[in-house]
Structure 1
Amino acid sequence: MRKLIYLTIMAGLVLMSCQNNKEYKVRGEVANEAFEGTNVYLQKMTDDAMIITDTSVVRNGEFSFSGNAEVAELRFVTLDETVNAEHDIRVPVLIEPGKINVSFDTIVTVGGTEVNNAYNNMRQEQQALVKQIREVVERFNAAQSEGTLTESLEAEVNQEYDNINKQLIELNYNFAKNNINNELGQYLFITSSSMFEPDQQRDILNNASDSFKAKENVKHIVGRLDNLERVAIGKKFVDFTLADPQGNEVSLSDYAGQGKYVLVDFWAAWCGPCRREMPYVVSAYEKYKSKGFEVVGVSFDQDHETWTQGIKDLNMTWPQMSDLQYWSSPVVDLYAIVGIPHTILLDKEGVIIEKNLRGDSLEAKLAELMP
């Protein structure tokens, strides 16, 4: 009888142990007293919206969630959005068995389990790099507004920006690659994929599960990646037909592959960086158009008058085309464009030889091609 009782107790302990192996506990801290007594939400992201899966309350600057995690899943810990806060009020967390810590302060941190610790370390490095980028941009803007921006300073600032940005890309790439089979790594990949080079995206996806690659938003990324490779340097241009300012149909092939070097400039009148870049394009066009250089402007504007006024204001005397569909234009996906200005330089046969030449680099390349 004693043996039977002993075995029953041991079986119960084993069962409890198995159950506890799936238990998670989230312990959170909120430094801002304005959140005292307000709700904190554990949310799941769907294709349509954020769905609340659990609710807690901030008491004495603390809150908590607990439950069982059958599988590790991505959730977002979100503070009350009605409270005016200077810092982040939402942070992604991988809900997995174990103790998870979340702290909302001037810096938001999350940790406690292996994946969350790794994400937190990456996130802190990420924020430090973003801060450096902001400082570089502020330095550039200050010099520009004060009239002290020299060519050498601009080149120095651009190089510094590029170096920091490369570190940021590498940081995101490494985390996404190493965590592509958990939902936190998948979330980072989906939200950051456009910053990765095509070979980096393929490398990450090669390690991903079939179920992840079957998701609609991932299919879209793969489709964009296919388009990127179709219009990579060394590939011939992909033709499309839009309307010129007078409403006549024109095709890229009317200019590309016709024996001239052609810069295809994707822009919009509402785009500040496009406007700042345009004087360099105008200068290059005036200098090299007689030597066999052409520019074709492709606008992502929505309004015809705004588009044509932009052409006039920016002294753009080269061919223009648009369907006035903004980011819904089929050209966006066709050329895998994620931001403007975006340019591609075609050789005389219509082969892509350069992309996104900025500032004086366009004239430098043309000087090399047409001495």
Structure 2
Amino acid sequence: MKKKRYLLILFACFYYSCDPAPAIFNFETKNFGPNAVISVKSSENGETLKVENITNGNQTFRINMPKKGYAILSTYDDGHDEEYSFYLDKGNYKGVLDGKNAATYPFKILPTKEGEEMISFYKQKEAMNRSLLDSLALAEREFNLATPDNIAEKAKKADIWRAKKISSELNNIEIFAKNHPKSDVTIFLLDRFGRAGSEAKKYLSIFKGLDKEVKESKRGKKLLSEIMQANQMMAGNKMPHIEGETPDGKKFNLSVLKKVNLIICWVSYSGKNRKNNQILAHLYEKYKDQNVEFIGVSFDKNKDSWKKVIKADKLTWPQYSDLLGEKSPNAKNLSNYSATYFFLADRNGIVLSNNDLSLDFVDSEIGKHLANQ
């Protein structure tokens, strides 16, 4: 019996010596509804690490085996969601979560260098954006209360303030990067902001100012690859060559291009893409006799499935694929592995649109470039 007890004690000592110290969260929580929830998930892989009901008071919870890396703390309260980025590691986390003051970064103490740098970024952001966010909130309220007579005016005003918020966000990251050139937090912030496609030049400018070690990190190299691909697709640059062949074996040649060309990156097995095809087929009928061409670039692997969908969806414009799927050079060079993805090019293959077009704007963009050229 003594031997068994000794073995249990030995096992427990071994287990706890190997188990890393937990991440312990201490929050003052207030002004949340009865069904409010707080959660923590990994920003690296989306894994949910913790879910807790918000109790309003002094609330403590822990993550027993935290994996180092960037994470997202979220609150959900009666249909209203908020997200806050931070760096997760073992140690103590302290702050205030206020349901009526969601714009304020909740963490006051974070146990790592990256965490302290994140706090520094959010303090800077809050100081710079306070009046802007107030103006945006006012514009949003006015839009929600708009009448049929003034809704267009209120919508335009709200859109202007939303655009200013986006611009301000990137400016905040730029200022932080200048003050913290050795911080990996900048790479995370740029990646999470997710506008390399439309702000490639600004991204590249910020990236170049970072310390060599940060730029050459795994995360840094990945972001640079995305920036360079996006920069290649900026308006005025020549689009990458389209690899592959049509279903009947013809290779892509610039001679198929017309005055304005819509390049459509897609896959035949996507339900969303199939719905898009219905809209695109109608648009093609509208523009096919106006010196406009559509060019389909598929990231499929199965030739028979690809051909069947082309026939079934009545896609009468030129279609190309190298049948390499996600390994296709087209996937990397044209859309950074996104499908669906749309962009416009002229008869020489010069990119006309700066970023991935939403299908809602394809019609108006084609019309605009037809009129301008």
Is TM (by shorter chain) over 0.5?
A: yes
Kindly tell me: are residues 362 and 216 of structure 1, through their superposed partners in 2, closer, same or farther at Cα, counting changes over 3 Å? same
- 2:116 equivalent to 1:110: no
- Aligned counterparts of 2:86 and 2:220: Cα–Cα separation in 1: 21
**Which residue matches 2:293?**
294
**Contact 2:30–2:57 (Cα < 8 Å) also in 1:** yes
**Which residue matches 1:91?**
84
Question: What is the aligned-residue RMSD (CA, Å)?
Answer: 5.1
Match of 1:204 among 194, 203, 206: 206
Kindly tell me: are residues 365 and 205 of structure 1, through their superposed partners in 2, closer, same or farther at Cα, counting changes over 3 Å? same
**Contact 1:258–1:350 (Cα < 8 Å) also in 2:** no
**Which residue matches 2:224?**
222
- Aligned counterparts of 2:252 and 2:332: Cα–Cα separation in 1: 16
Alignment of 1:148-163 (within 5 A): 163=160
Larger radius of gyration: 1
**Offset of residue 110 of structure 1:** 1.9
CA deviation vs aligned residue, 1:285-306 (integer Å, no higher than 9, x gap): 1233xxxx43322245785377
**Contact 1:26–1:100 (Cα < 8 Å) also in 2:** yes
**Offset of residue 177 of structure 1:** 1.1
CA deviation vs aligned residue, 1:352-371 (integer Å, no higher than 9, x gap): 345557324423432444xx
- 2:234 equivalent to 1:238: no
- Aligned counterparts of 2:287 and 2:105: Cα–Cα separation in 1: 50
Question: TM-score under structure 1 normalisation?
Answer: 0.60
**Contact 1:74–1:183 (Cα < 8 Å) also in 2:** no
**Which residue matches 1:4?**
none
**Offset of residue 50 of structure 1:** 6.7
**Which residue matches 1:190?**
191
Match of 2:173 among 171, 176, 183: 176
Report the 3-state secondary structure (helix = DSSP H, G, I; strand = E; otherwise coil) of the residue aligned with 1:317: coil
Report the 3-state secondary structure (helix = DSSP H, G, I; strand = E; otherwise coil) of the residue aligned with 1:88: strand
**Contact 1:263–1:294 (Cα < 8 Å) also in 2:** yes
Question: TM-score under structure 2 normalisation?
Answer: 0.60
The amino acid across from 2:167 in the alignment is E
**Which residue matches 2:285?**
282
**Offset of residue 320 of structure 1:** 1.6
Task: Work out the number of aligned pairs and report it.
Answer: 309
Kindly tell me: are residues 168 and 117 of structure 1, through their superposed partners in 2, closer, same or farther at Cα, counting changes over 3 Å? same
- 2:345 equivalent to 1:345: yes
**Which residue matches 1:265?**
263
**Which residue matches 1:321?**
320
CA deviation vs aligned residue, 1:308-359 (integer Å, no higher than 9, x gap): 26632xxx42212245777665423202455745122222x43334555732
- Aligned counterparts of 1:103 and 1:235: Cα–Cα separation in 2: 47
**Which residue matches 2:11?**
none
The amino acid across from 1:284 in the alignment is Y
**Offset of residue 233 of structure 1:** 2.9
**Offset of residue 226 of structure 1:** 1.7
CA deviation vs aligned residue, 1:254-308 (integer Å, no higher than 9, x gap): xx146743514215462456754654443121233xxxx4332224578537732
**Offset of residue 93 of structure 1:** 3.8
**Which residue matches 1:10?**
none
**Contact 1:263–1:344 (Cα < 8 Å) also in 2:** yes
The amino acid across from 1:232 in the alignment is M
**Contact 1:93–1:116 (Cα < 8 Å) also in 2:** no
Kindly tell me: are residues 135 and 75 of structure 1, through their superposed partners in 2, closer, same or farther at Cα, counting changes over 3 Å? same
- Aligned counterparts of 2:154 and 2:324: Cα–Cα separation in 1: 35
Give the gaps of 5 or more residues in structure 2: 1-23, 63-68, 109-118
- Aligned counterparts of 1:123 and 1:110: Cα–Cα separation in 2: 13
The amino acid across from 2:168 in the alignment is L
**Offset of residue 250 of structure 1:** 3.9
